[in-house]
Structure 1
Amino acid sequence: MSEQTCGLTVGVDVGGTKIAAGTVDPAGGVATRARLPTPRDPDRIADAVTEAVRRVREGRDDVRAVGVGAAGYVDAERSTVRFAPNLGWHDKAIRDIVQEATGLPVVVENDANAAAWGEFVHGAGAGHEDMLMVTAGTGFGGGIVSRGRLFRGRFGMAGEIGHYRAVPDGLPCPCGQRGCMEQYASGAAHTRRARDLAAADPGRAAAVLALGDGTPAGLRGRHVTEAARGGDRFALEVFAQSGRWLGQALADLASVLDPSVLVIGGGLGETGELIRRPAEVAYRRALGGGAHRVYAEVRTATVGQDAGLIGAANLARLHELLSSPAIRF
């Protein structure tokens, strides 16, 4: 194995509230870490990314490259963030900024794509060539791996799976459309669903409400999860309804992409079998021609909150090793 392959790469996960960075080895192990709050001023975020990289590589001379995962639309060259509403970025040339500041090669990727790649290489997608991952958290994103490569589309913006319209003229979405799947299958939708059901029948939801402040508005996702793990019927019904929507999303996407494994990540993925079981049942029921097809395996993510950081670092490693313009990854 070459010295290049053995070196560390830095992964940076840039979110709306925090920037997490780490040096990552080829096996996916995180050697050093740094965490900074995301500045409110969009013009200062790139400097914070650079500072996070500086902190994790301090005292090390074996760092080879940097991968940055950002919540936004990234161009085909993995260079510029075209639009990142949570960060306030418009056509931000992040690769050039971070390269100039660090002196290291840099690759930029959408954060959900980076997380999907982290799960593909080191987590629930290992052993498969075709994987679809959905991240069901505050939003509903994901990533697609086809024949062992991250599928990005012609313009680098494939995988925005939360924004296909599942319900014509349905719930309004911040993207400007109505009825996007994000409004029904995300972790935020799961919490909203629990609050609405609790408001409609507070007696049945009494045990879950007691875990918060006693009001539907005070319910949090963790309260529903705690109650469901204790066998509470109301909480289990919330998971059943969320699982039906998530399974519908998996079936719709599998009909187009035909992966061998479906991975559920994000906050809902962290609830394990509570969401995986109803989602798998709903996926199998909703998959068109299911009786005549091979069902994909449904798994929950295993890398966890480091998936985006580790995935970005691995993409940076590939970018360094496969830098020939004739090779794409």
Structure 2
Amino acid sequence: MGLSIGIDVGGTKIAAGVVGADGKIGARSHRDTPATSVDETAQAIIDAAAELIAEHKVEAVGIGAAGFVSADRSTVLFAPNLAWRDEPLGERVGAALGVPVVVENDANAAAWGEFAFGAAKDVEHMVCLTVGTGIGGGVVIDGELLRGAHGVAAELGHMRVVPGGHRCGCGARGCWEQYASGSALVREGRALAESGSLAAAQMLSVCGITDSSELSGPMITKAAAAGDPCAVELLDDLGRWLGEGLASIATLFDPSTIVIGGGVSAAKQLLVKSAQVAFEKNLPARSNRPHPSFGLAELGNDAGIIGAADLARRRESAR
């Protein structure tokens, strides 16, 4: 099969690219996301794809969107940051473009990109975490993306780790992403600064700010890379939460590789090392079972585009 288009639908930007069977992106197009309007968002997706189709012979389109996607990969059941509720997005976009369309959860699409062409391209069993504002996840078992009976499996960030803990955007308390995400990193950093901690005050100085409300995840990561003790401790705590949660994930899926991506992964070994230490410490029967390898995602912001395009290509090829 030839070319396919992958589209990554974010809360502010729609990014599309023409992707070959080798996972390489050729031409690209972008549109702003009119997140409050179902019709305008769909039209922006159509326009971004149509721009590329006008110049390339494309056989399928894959769309990665945040939220719950139906088992048939056509309907967005619910999107937390977009106005989609039971939206037949695949049918709608396909009718406008005249090509087959596959819709997939964005974290699943990114995980598949890393599995097919990135950090896990040589394995058959992997777990991928996208650690950003929250935690996205994707699981591949025996070379197949885990989607579940209703298409909404692998919402790893909403695994409950602290009963009665911090309230999550999903409505529950104590979800993993409330302790092991970029949002958690910033929350803890600001709390330390507001407590009057001298170490946190020094961190703010390294970040070039005096107001703790201006503190961001990238600032903490950069300060940690520069050796600031408070920032290093914050990332170490984040890594510990990641590792403890991943130990539970490993007991469920037994992956050969765990891939960590997303904005927080810019901390690289500062994060991965502490996560792996906590993982090894908390893995049940750790002396009597094989341990997965840890790695950083390789495809960056392109993972969702590449994964969505490849999933669409494979589905069309199988018909």
Structure 1 portions without partners, runs of 5+: 324-329
The residue number in structure 2 matching 1:244 is: 240
What secondary structure, in the 3-state scheme, does the structure 1 residue paired with 2:4 have? strand
Which residue, out of 101, 106, 117, partners 1:122?
Answer: 117
Provide the rounded CA distance (Å) in 2 between the counterparts of 1:126 and 1:180. Answer: 30
- Aligned with 2:315 (options 296, 314, 319): 319
Deviation at 1:319, TM superposition (A): 1.1
Measured in 2, the distance between the counterparts of 1:118 and 1:146 equals 14
**Residue 298 (structure 1) aligned with residue 294 (structure 2):** yes
In 1, Cα distance between equivalents of 2:297 and 2:185:
18
Query: 1:310 maps to which residue?
Result: 306
CA contact (8 A) 1:208 1:223 kept: no
Question: Which amino acid is the alignment partner of residue 304 of structure 2?
Answer: G
1:50–1:102 contact (8 Å) kept in structure 2: yes
Q: 1:41 aligns with which of 22, 37, 41?
A: 37
Q: Deviation at 1:198?
A: 2.3
Q: Residues 1-329 of structure 1 correspond to what in structure 2 (within 5 A)?
A: 4=1, 7-39=2-34, 40-60=36-56, 62-210=57-205, 211-323=207-319
CA RMSD of aligned residues (A): 1.1
What is the letter of the counterpart of residue 291 of structure 1? S
Q: Would you say the 8 A contact 2:221–2:264 is kept in 1?
A: no
Moved over 6 A (4+): none
How many residues get paired? 317
Q: Report the Cα distance in structure 1 between the residues aligned to 2:121 and 2:305, rounded to whole angstroms.
A: 17
Mapped partners of 1:270, 1:81: distance in 2: 30
C-alpha displacement at 1:293, in angstroms?
Answer: 1.2
Q: Which amino acid aligns with 2:135?
A: F
| Most deviating of 154-163 and 194-203 | 194-203
Letter in 1 for 2:212: P
> What secondary structure does 1:153 align onto?
coil
> Normalising by the residue count of structure 2, what TM-score does the alignment of the two structures yield?
0.97
The answer to whether the 8 A contact 2:221-2:266 is kept is: no
TM-fit CA distance, 1:221: 1.1
Residue aligned with 2:267, SS: coil
Mean alpha-carbon deviation: is it higher for 89-98 or for 265-274? 265-274
Indicate conservation of the 8 Å contact 1:69/1:114, yes or no: yes
Shift of 1:291: 1.2
> SS of the counterpart of 1:142?
strand
The offset of 1:205, in angstroms, is 2.0
1:156-180 deviation per Cα after TM superposition (whole angstroms, max 9, x unaligned): 1101111121100100011111101
- Report the CA distance between 1:271 and its aligned residue: 2.1
Contact 1:212–1:218 under 8 Å retained in 2 = no
Report SS of the residue matched to 1:185.
coil
Amino acid in structure 1 at the alignment position of 2:40: R
Secondary structure of 1:204 counterpart? helix
3-state DSSP of counterpart to 1:182: helix
1:91 and 1:97 mapped to 2: Cα distance?
Answer: 12
- The structural deviation recorded for 1:197 is 2.0
Q: Letter of the aligned partner of 1:142 in structure 2?
A: G
User: What corresponds to 1:326 in structure 2?
Assistant: none
Asked whether the 8 Å contact 1:80–1:94 carries over to 2, the reply is yes
Contact kept in structure 2, 1:14 and 1:20, CA below 8 Å: yes
Deviation per CA, 1:140-189, whole angstroms, max 9, x where unpaired? 11000000010101111101111121100100011111101110111211
Q: Which amino acid aligns with 2:229?
A: R
Q: 1:301 & 1:295 partners in 2: Cα distance?
A: 19
- 1:115–1:311 Cα contact (<8 Å) kept: yes
- Compute the TM-score of the two structures, normalised by the length of structure 1: 0.94
SS of the residue aligned with 1:156? coil
